[in-house]
Amino acid sequence: MLFERAAVIGIGLIGGSLALATKRQGLVGHVVGVARRENTLLDALRVGAADTVTNDPAQAVRDADLVYLATPVRAIPPLLAAIAPHLPAGCLVTDGGSTKRAIVQAAGALPASVTFIGGHPMTGSELSGPGAADRHLFEGSNYFLTPTDETPPDDLARLIGLVEGIGARPTLVDAATHDRVLAATSHLPHLVAAALCNALVSEDKPERFAGPGLRDTTRIAGGPANVWRDILLENAEDVREAMARLREVLDSYDAALADADGDALVELLERARDTREGLEP
């Protein structure tokens, strides 16, 4: 067992899945689940993601040796400030947010007696809530960790052990690099899937013509809008740079079509195919 008592604040899909996975592997003893809604807390108890529950983050963290923040990213900095006075010495705090720079910066104000290490599991679902939690969710996925030069090696080793224990692959990266790369590989794809849905001509009833290609391409557009609003706003600068690169590529396709340039289209499509094949595990 790596941690005797964990407080999971935001015990939804990611927080609930982490609780189920760590409890199943014996990595964590008692889990306190935290959420604002009573129904969410009851669901967390029902599926076994939490042993006890509360809607008070300060109460949840008082005896915890691990605190996991799984709320929307823009809620994490003020949450860190709220729990800071109540964190016990020696506690390890981490998060599952999809952006890292602002969160790591906010964590700098935590007491010196606790350790914060940013985290981001590259997994998820278009579903939400502890009822959708899955103890296998992290298996085979990349899990980014953003330690700093001040991170105690023993705490980093414990967190790496937890990540590996739930079947994920830990990858260490600085927060700025994380946000820049994820803007292109995660945040832009979600935005593109959403934009594609918005671009469908509704009067033609596109659902009548939808095949697996459209359904596969737009699946991630079904994610919670408020969660993705926060991610996109938090990483707006890097996302806009990724969008600018996408516009340049779309302009290349547009020029090839306007010029009826089949050779240029083949080159673009083959380059895309090669890149896609390189993404396979």
- Per-residue model confidence as pLDDT tens digits over 72-103: 999 999 999 999 999 999 999 999 999 999 99
Q: Residue 120 — very low, low, confident or very high, per pLDDT cuts 50/70/90? A: very high
How far apart are the C-alpha atoms of 2 and 166, rounded to whole Å?
A: 12
Domain boundaries, the chain: 3-173, 177-278
Tokens in use for 47?
Answer: 């599926």
Residue 271, pLDDT above cutoff 80: yes
Q: Give which of 215, 194, 42, 230 is closest to 129, Cα–Cα.
A: 42
Residue 194, pLDDT above cutoff 70: yes
Tell which CATH classification among 3.40.30.10, 3.40.50.720, 3.10.20.30, 3.30.1280.10 matches the domain 3-173: 3.40.50.720
* Cβ partners under 8 Å of residue 180, min gap 6: 238
Overall fold of domain 177-278: 6-phosphogluconate dehydrogenase C-terminal fold (1.10.3660)
Q: Give which of 181, 138, 135 is closest to 163, Cα–Cα.
A: 138
pLDDT, one tens digit per residue, over 198-218 is 988 777 777 778 889 889 999
Strand pairing class (115-121; 169-172): unpaired
How far apart are the C-alpha atoms of 113 and 92, rounded to whole Å?
A: 10
Q: Is the pTM of this model over 0.85?
A: yes
pLDDT, one tens digit per residue, over 221-263 is 988 898 899 999 999 999 999 999 999 999 999 999 999 999 9
pLDDT, one tens digit per residue, over 234-243 is 999 999 999 9
